[in-house]
Structure 1
Amino acid sequence: MQPSTFLTWVQETTFAGIPLWSLLVAVAAATATYVAILVALYLITRRAKAWATQSQSGMAMTVVDVLKGTSRTLMLVVALLVGASLLDLPGRWESRLSQLWFVAVALQMGLWGMRAIGIGVRRYVQRHSSTGMTQVSASATLMSWGLRTLLWSVVLLAILSNVGVNITAFIASLGVGGIAVALAVQNILGDLFASLAIAVDKPFEVGDFVVVGSVSGTVQVIGLKTTRIRSLQGEQIVMSNTDLLKQTISNFRMLERRRIVFGFGVTYDTTPEQAEAIPGIVRKLIEAHPQLRFDRAHFKAFGASSLDYEVVYIVEDPAFSVYMDMQQALNLGLMRELKALGVEFAFPTRTVHIASAPVQAPAPAPVPVATASVAEQSVGSR
């Protein structure tokens, strides 16, 4: 077949009402578009890798990882849509092609978002892997589920709106249904979000010693709904995450030193010279221990039954057992020093003064009335 004859045949031949030469042009355009997309992705990925290697940028590596999630199928669909846009199609097909364009782009954006969420959650787990895998896994699962649900909800609503579906009533229905579900499971959702708040804000972590109200112990498990604490008595205490965050939490993990305030009293028999010497004795006892740092010691007040002293010192070791050992050593040393000084510790006493009543003279005895009557009768008879 001669070239002129072939060209004539191509121009005159139609397929499904579309000239064959238009189809060939569309196929060529689709192929060129697909190859161009592949080359562009390769160049962008290569450039981002070089940038990440030079600058050690986490953002560049994220871009590389996200671009690796590009769907080859959607790339082919986009290329075919580019080729189809060159065809002389009826008006209704042109609108359909524009809708397919949006669907393909929206789906690819969703896939990129999914990959970005996965990368972010994975890095979060790696960053906090030393704080207890149970807590990290629970919070990562909750964040991943919530972000993926939000992403695909937005993508789906955008696609439905683009294809001509009225999503206003749909969104309203989702809102009403969401409110109903939220009211039905508000306690569970409250605990779930409280777990997420604990994971993000980190008021405490697994292994920390905490005091919450009347509960004190070591945090063992931080779950999606409850937190479990091993108390000092040995039992495991299960607390709701929501109730836990409503209370004041004392976390001793960051405790570096302890400031101790304690007092004692001596009897009122103590002389001024002895009272003046006591703060110096206390200071000498505290400074004799390298783990303690003296702050102050003062004769504070005249108590009801004692001369009151107040002492403040710092324990450089945060361990509670070290503090108790040091306090015991101070108490014993203070007993020895005060005994050598001739001073006694005071204890609650009360002096009661009893006033004696005045002695009164005895009252005269009354005269019996009956005897007087008998006497009068005797005188009358004489």
Structure 2
Amino acid sequence: MNMEFLQHIEWSRVIDLGIVYGLKILGALAIFVLGKWIAKVLTRVVKKAMEHAKVEATLVSFVGNMVYILLMVVVILAALNNLGVNTTSFVAVMGAAGLAIGLALQGTLSNVGAAVLLILFRPFKVGDFVEAGGTAGVVEEINMFSTIFKTGDNKVVIVPNSSVIGGNIVNYSAKETRRIDWTFGIGYDDDLKLAKKTLEEILLADDRIHADPAPFVAVSELADSSVNFVCRAWVNTPDYWAVNFDTVEKVKLVFDEKGISIPYPQMDVHLDKEEAAA
């Protein structure tokens, strides 16, 4: 009878413990599932609010991911707390582990920090033509670790964010207009006034060149082999290279038609009479 009574008590304890911990496990699972659903809903709400405010897509994606991660950390801690796990100690252990991981991954984390700066201060956005980190191209993506460029010859260049933020950034797409500068040289024997008038006519005839500010043409230098003109004109940023190349070609063709020479570097050598006789 005593053995049966003891076995009955042990099974009662097992059942009681099973019920208690089973409820805790079910509660933890419920907290996790419900918390995950709430985290997704709140993340969508935050993203839609930012999109409604016309925030850049890169920033929307970044903030949405950060919100979701933070909410999921809270959900996991709540689920563990429901199981009876001492979350205070758990947070301390995670903090120590995070510090160790951070020291081991300083370079990687510096890229993450640089990504935050790029997204917050937005020196450029996806689609801009940018020179940064030793490369130049159209920005295709800004992620947590790198910025992806597509160069003019269709190569993909992946640059660490720390390299991008650590140097000069030149954004050629930031402004709607850009100024083109040319230097054209003519011979010393050519008609200077005719050459200047010709350059002005070429610039004024191009509809892509802005009338305000007006194109500028002036003599800039009396060089060793040529008289140099500086020409400046404002165009829409997308028209920059087309106008640049077309104008150089047009100047050469019109100068040839009007007999205006474009000299090349040359050197006159004068020999002494005695040396020439020898």
Structure 1 residue 303 corresponds to structure 2 residue 227: no
Contact 2:43 2:67 in 1 (8 A): no
> CA-to-partner distance for each residue in 1:25-70, whole Å, 9 max, x for gaps?
xxxxxxxxxxxxxxxxxxxxxxxxxxxxxxxxxxxxxxxxxxxxxx
Could you list the runs of 4 or more consecutive aligned residues of structure 1 that deviate by over 3 angstroms after TM superposition? 112-122, 125-132, 146-153, 169-179
CA distance in 2, matches of 1:213, 1:174: 34
Equivalent of 2:139 in 195, 219, 230: 219
Summarize the alignment of residues 1-382 of structure 1 with structure 2, pairs less than 5 Å apart: 119-124=45-50, 127=53, 131=57, 136-146=60-70, 177-270=97-190, 274-293=191-210, 294-316=214-236, 318-319=238-239, 320-337=241-258, 339=259, 343-357=260-274
CA distance in 1, matches of 2:236, 2:252: 18
CA 1:237–1:204 in structure 2 vs 1: closer, same or farther (change >3 Å)?
Answer: same
1:184 Cα deviation after fit: 1.7
TM-score, scaled to structure 1: 0.49
Contact 1:139 1:195 in 2 (8 A): no
> CA-to-partner distance for each residue in 1:143-177, whole Å, 9 max, x for gaps?
54357759999x9xxxxxxxxx9x8x999877655
CA 1:310–1:283 in structure 2 vs 1: closer, same or farther (change >3 Å)?
Answer: same
Contact 2:183 2:230 in 1 (8 A): yes
Aligned-residue RMSD, C-alpha: 3.7
Asked which structure has the greater CA Rg, the reply is 1
Contact 2:111 2:162 in 1 (8 A): yes
The answer for the alignment partner of 2:15 in structure 1 is: none
TM-score, scaled to structure 2: 0.65
Percent identity, aligned pairs only, is 21
CA 1:114–1:236 in structure 2 vs 1: closer, same or farther (change >3 Å)?
Answer: closer
Contact 2:183 2:229 in 1 (8 A): yes
CA distance in 2, matches of 1:116, 1:138: 15
CA distance in 2, matches of 1:175, 1:131: 32
Higher relative contact order (CA 8 A, sep 6+): 2
Q: Which structure 2 segments of 5+ residues have no match? A: 1-37, 79-85
Contact 2:39 2:68 in 1 (8 A): no
CA distance in 2, matches of 1:216, 1:334: 34
CA distance in 2, matches of 1:336, 1:213: 45
Letter in 2 for 1:186: Q
